[in-house]
Structure 1
Amino acid sequence: MPITVLKVRVNDLQPGMYVSSLDRPWLETPYPIQGFRIASERDQRHLKQYCDYVYVDVIKSEALSIPKHILLNDEGDQPKSDAAQILKLTQRPRIIYEKATSREEELSTAQTHYRSVENTYQTLLRDAENNAKLNLPVLRKSIEPMVQSIIRNPDAFIWLTHLKNMDNYTYHHAVSCSVWAVAFGRHLGLPTEKLNSLATGCFLFDIGKCKLPKALLNNTRRLSSEEFNTVKQHVLFGLEMVKQAKGVNKDVLDMIRTHHERHNGSGYPLGLSDDQIPLFGRIAGIVDAYDAITSHRPFCKPIPAYEAIDGLYQWRGVDFQTELVEQFIQVVGIYPVGSLVELSDDTVGVVISQNEHFRLRPQIMVLLDADKKLLDEFYEIDLRVDLESESATLPTISRGLPPGAYDLDQSQYYF
């Protein structure tokens, strides 16, 4: 087996080496969680303020920065590239999508498509509750423009997922999971037809819950073992309903059937594990869990996005496939677009755009002053601007905040 990660003391780092892990949590440092390349001795000195040693990714490092004998395995083969890892996950070459529009340019179009898919899903859910056949062609027609918007720039739709009405968790969970799944599939380089299937599957994987007692779904206490067994039936209910509709494909059925299966075999209804779970089912499980724990639910308050990401990271290799969790974290970032944050100068703002290679340094719209009073005029700052400055003046992010913190109403202030 080739060596792909090296433990290196900070004093021994060389320009060109790619740091993929630290000897402490990423959140205790100003560095991006997806790693960074050592460019100069200055980077080395700065890193020494936080770490004694780090882990270097051999594949992402410049070849001349790593001793040649380390790059080879016993047979003299080169280790697999990141593209090869994506290929192994998806079984297809990766399509590289570029942002074709800015968040601002895409936002108006995204709002129109967001309302369309939400209204379509509400109609679909009413049909399901009334035992009518599901009109999947109408759903697909509504989904396709949403997918195209996310392909152009995911930030706009991701922004809109944070403007959820707390009284309509069922509707918004379906839309949000679809958005995250498409953004995830886009990152993995899946073709458009597969992105459409991801969105469709997320709209439908909980459709069977309409057959469960409303009191059970809306309760505010922990479910008993018997009640939980009843809730599990929504998977089979949903499968039967969707199978009766026209034009459903295998990827969508896989998502409904396996979105509650878990990597270690602890899920339901079949107790599948590892590669027994189809890729789309593994993706569905991750986005379902992430959106659920960051949303208002009848029995649970949301947690900040960065805590949710930390939770997913802890569950890697247990509930979810490690490689997929790591790829999803790259999509979401520690502070996703639309999430509230408190800055080091005590002001509060909302993340409006990601800086792709500096996930801890996003663009922020500041809403509250240091006394937590609403500003008369909001202003934007890009936390990446001072990154290379010895005399930085911009604040940094102190902590993520849950939705609704300081009584901020996203739908009222963010447009």
Structure 2
Amino acid sequence: MCVCELEAPKGENPFMLDRIVIESHADIQAIQAVCDYVYIDVKFQKDHTGAIPTRSTEARKQLSFARSFEQTAVTFQRVGNLIKTVLDDIRFGNQFNTEAVKQAVAECVDQVLEHPETMLLLTQLKDQDQYTAQHCMNVCILAILLGRELKYSVEDLNKIGFCGLMHDVGKMKVPLEILNKPGKLDKFELDIMRNHTVYGRNVLMSARGAFPGAVDVAHNHHEQLNGGGYPRGLDKSALSDFTKMVAVVDTYDAMTSDRVYQHGQPHLIALGTLVKGMSQRYEAHYVTHFINCIGFYPQGNAVELSSGEIGIVVEQNKADRLKPKILIVKDSQRSDIEPRLLDLAKPVADPQGNRYAVKQVVRAKDYRLDLNEYYRDGLFVKDYAIAGA
């Protein structure tokens, strides 16, 4: 069965996502450790044979990524929970399980290769209170997606995924009062924060079986091609390909995430920053491939339509990246409506009789959109009528 919400967790919720598919007795024990009651999503419970009950889809269409959403989300959650455990081990000076991390990355690689759009959407389910763990997870996924775009082998995808997942482990050696400070850091605090690159290098150098390239990435992912980065002011010639790749996706996810001291930026603004920094801060080759990889309107981004309605991008159109499928959730007056699916690739007219188009990408929170809530409610796995079909 599928748990869609925990009732009154005892202390901090250890699960990165609240939506949990129970697959073993160990899953039940993990949930029992943090709460006494849960809410079950009865629409998606499996029957005694393990099959998910079918529903009539006559005259309706399902989002293609929705068919595998639950299983992909299970992998995403499992790896997210693992990275939280790894970061806690590092903070408390314990040795972390390198082989378990490699296995988790391998699962991510499998899911990215099989269901890239779903994994991209899951990177948008962000929680400010778990920023570091989720950021590491997202950088892992985005780095694998970029490697896939570059036609990397599975072996290399596993390596770049490991680099992405472990790139910020040094932050666990930064005092919490600095790491989570809501205001601007003073010079002394900034120096300590920047030392997370050195701390990360040291942690990974002492980790048995860690991919050696991850040491370089943890140490150098804030260096810049023109030598203006830190901690050593290295230039392009001294930086590995994996370091340059992680620098791009790290910047993108950091810019688009809410943190204690800033609101996340809309997707296109983050891409604009990467483009402006091409050849000076970021390798142009990787920036252009990253943009091609995730598109101008990636899954999970909120958009305002030409009609004034608000929706969420839920599926890419591979033939025309400017015409994705959008789940409209608010009308032009910003009031909640029964969601309906709009395929911009089809000549569908808006309420004013004009053809629909994306007006702009917006911040979800500015329009009271909570992707985590939509996820818990199963919004991304429902069947929807296609507008105008």
TM-score by length of 1: 0.72
> Following TM superposition, by how much is the alpha carbon of 1:386 offset from its aligned partner in structure 2, in angstroms?
2.9
Deviation >4 Å, runs of 4+: none
* Partner of residue 343, structure 2: 382
Kept in 2, the 8 Å contact 1:386–1:393? The answer is no
2:140 matched to 1:172?
Answer: no
* Partner of residue 53, structure 2: none
How far apart, CA to CA, are the structure 2 residues paired with 1:334 and 1:312?
13
- 1:284 aligned to which of 217, 228, 246: 246
How far apart, CA to CA, are the structure 2 residues paired with 1:277 and 1:341?
36
1:181/1:298 Cα in 2 relative to 1: closer, same or farther (>3 Å)? same
* Partner of residue 298, structure 1: 260
> Following TM superposition, by how much is the alpha carbon of 1:318 offset from its aligned partner in structure 2, in angstroms?
1.4
* Partner of residue 113, structure 1: 75
Kept in 1, the 8 Å contact 2:72–2:115? The answer is no
How far apart, CA to CA, are the structure 2 residues paired with 1:106 and 1:272?
43
* Partner of residue 121, structure 2: 159
2:368 matched to 1:395?
Answer: no
* Partner of residue 248, structure 1: 210
> Following TM superposition, by how much is the alpha carbon of 1:153 offset from its aligned partner in structure 2, in angstroms?
2.4
Out of 174-183 and 393-402, give the one that drifted further: 393-402
Aligned length: 310
- 2:66 aligned to which of 81, 101, 104: 104
Q: Residues 362-412 of structure 1: CA distance to partner in whole angstroms, max 9, x if unpaired? A: 11011001111111x21111112239xxxx953111111113221111122
Give the alignment of 1:141-220 within 5 angstroms.
141-220=103-182
Give the alignment of 1:264-283 within 5 angstroms.
264-283=226-245
Out of 266-275 and 146-155, give the one that drifted further: 266-275
What amino acid maps onto 1:395 in structure 2? Y
What amino acid maps onto 1:385 in structure 2? K
* Partner of residue 369, structure 1: 331
Corresponding residue SS for 2:364: coil
* Partner of residue 409, structure 1: 370
Give the alignment of 1:5-24 within 5 angstroms.
none
Kept in 2, the 8 Å contact 1:106–1:149? The answer is no
1:364/1:229 Cα in 2 relative to 1: closer, same or farther (>3 Å)? same
Q: Residues 21-71 of structure 1: CA distance to partner in whole angstroms, max 9, x if unpaired? A: xxxxxxxxxxxxxxxxxxxxxxxxxxxxxxxxxxxxxxxxxxxxxxxxxxx
How far apart, CA to CA, are the structure 1 residues paired with 2:364 and 2:128?
10
How far apart, CA to CA, are the structure 1 residues paired with 2:243 and 2:363?
28
Corresponding residue SS for 2:311: strand
* Partner of residue 323, structure 1: 285
Corresponding residue SS for 1:268: coil
* Partner of residue 333, structure 1: 295
Kept in 2, the 8 Å contact 1:302–1:403? The answer is no
* Partner of residue 91, structure 2: 129
Corresponding residue SS for 2:372: helix
Corresponding residue SS for 1:275: helix
Kept in 2, the 8 Å contact 1:404–1:410? The answer is no
Kept in 2, the 8 Å contact 1:336–1:354? The answer is yes
**Relative CO higher for 1 or 2, CA cutoff 8 Å, sep ≥ 6?**
2
CA RMSD of aligned residues (A): 1.6
> Following TM superposition, by how much is the alpha carbon of 1:255 offset from its aligned partner in structure 2, in angstroms?
1.4
* Partner of residue 25, structure 2: none
Paired-residue identity, %: 28
- 2:187 aligned to which of 195, 220, 225: 225
Kept in 1, the 8 Å contact 2:162–2:214? The answer is yes
What amino acid maps onto 1:325 in structure 2? V
Kept in 2, the 8 Å contact 1:134–1:242? The answer is no
- 2:221 aligned to which of 237, 254, 259: 259
What amino acid maps onto 1:120 in structure 2? L
Corresponding residue SS for 1:404: helix
What amino acid maps onto 2:321 in structure 1? R
* Partner of residue 18, structure 2: none
How far apart, CA to CA, are the structure 2 residues paired with 1:271 and 1:192?
32
How far apart, CA to CA, are the structure 1 residues paired with 2:364 and 2:142?
17
Q: Residues 105-152 of structure 1: CA distance to partner in whole angstroms, max 9, x if unpaired? A: 231121100110011111111111111112110111122111101011
> Following TM superposition, by how much is the alpha carbon of 1:265 offset from its aligned partner in structure 2, in angstroms?
0.9
Out of 247-256 and 158-167, give the one that drifted further: 247-256
How far apart, CA to CA, are the structure 1 residues paired with 2:90 and 2:119?
26
TM-score by length of 2: 0.77
What amino acid maps onto 2:70 in structure 1? S
How far apart, CA to CA, are the structure 1 residues paired with 2:125 and 2:95?
31
* Partner of residue 385, structure 2: none
Q: Residues 170-216 of structure 1: CA distance to partner in whole angstroms, max 9, x if unpaired? A: 11101111111000000001111111111211121111111111111
> Following TM superposition, by how much is the alpha carbon of 1:102 offset from its aligned partner in structure 2, in angstroms?
3.8
Q: Residues 289-325 of structure 1: CA distance to partner in whole angstroms, max 9, x if unpaired? A: 0000100111110111011111111111111011211
Corresponding residue SS for 1:335: coil
How far apart, CA to CA, are the structure 2 residues paired with 1:225 and 1:360?
43
1:356/1:251 Cα in 2 relative to 1: closer, same or farther (>3 Å)? farther
Corresponding residue SS for 1:155: helix
What amino acid maps onto 1:297 in structure 2? R
Corresponding residue SS for 2:322: coil
> Following TM superposition, by how much is the alpha carbon of 1:104 offset from its aligned partner in structure 2, in angstroms?
1.7
